[in-house]
Structure 1
């Protein structure tokens, strides 16, 4: 699994003009699922999302996690993260999980996140979504498990 995380001051995801999920300070995580991913990958990714230290402490160092600051977590499925872009001028999606597996593992991630973190929002798996964000920093990392 991969997650492109961005520290945000606010973010929201819309489908057909309707806001489905929104957060203020926190993390926007664009999540890609690959064919070899399992529920154990979901556990590892969620642990990293909640505990990865990307928020500043009193000395201005990235030393606080999402759990520490009580920020929101906006999870958005994005199969394009699993694309093979190593060659050519067009991405190949043969390295992305089939939709059924992608949906199953993304839904598991959302369910577990809601059980472990007080503020979790999401888009809609497989939908055409518009993601709006204000990247704070900018701070962006690619997490892979």
Structure 2
């Protein structure tokens, strides 16, 4: 599982011109990519790490400040670009595996106390954000194994 966590002043997601979700105040924008072989344990661990990372102002975490989190599924985080000019998506899990794990990630954050907004899985989304800092963190559970 790969996630890119960005501290944002604001963020929103629209689909076909309709606002799907937006952060009500500054918080985190989290792009989530599920890889083949990822499971519920990855979603739970990364949710806990995301909630507790001290990347907000004054070395505080989302859990310390009750910062909202906008979660966007993004299989392209697993693009293989080593050869040629066309990325390969073969490391990304299929939608029927990814969608429940992304939703589990969101539910785990909510169980920890987070206010979570979501994109729309599988949709062409327009994600807008204003980075704050900028602070951007990459977590890859492959690095944890």
Residue 77 (structure 1) shift = 0.2
Residue 118 (structure 1) shift = 3.7
Instruction: State TM-score, norm by structure 2.
Output: 0.92
1:73 paired to 2:69: yes
Over the residues paired in the alignment, what is the CA RMSD in angstroms?
Answer: 1.0
Aligned residues: 140
Q: Deviations over 1:66-102 (max 9, x none)?
A: 1111111000000100111223211100010011001
In the alignment, which residue of structure 2 is the partner of 1:87? Answer: 83
The structure that is strand-richer by fraction is 1
1:130 paired to 2:126: yes
SS at match of 2:42: helix
Equivalent positions of 1:19-98 (< 5 A) are 19-23=19-23, 24-57=25-58, 63-98=59-94
Instruction: State TM-score, norm by structure 1.
Output: 0.92
Give structure 1 regions of 4+ aligned residues with deviation exceeding 4 angstroms.
none
In the alignment, which residue of structure 2 is the partner of 1:102? Answer: 98
Partners of 1:53 and 1:133 in 2: CA distance: 20
Q: Is the 8 A contact 2:119 2:125 kept in 1?
A: yes
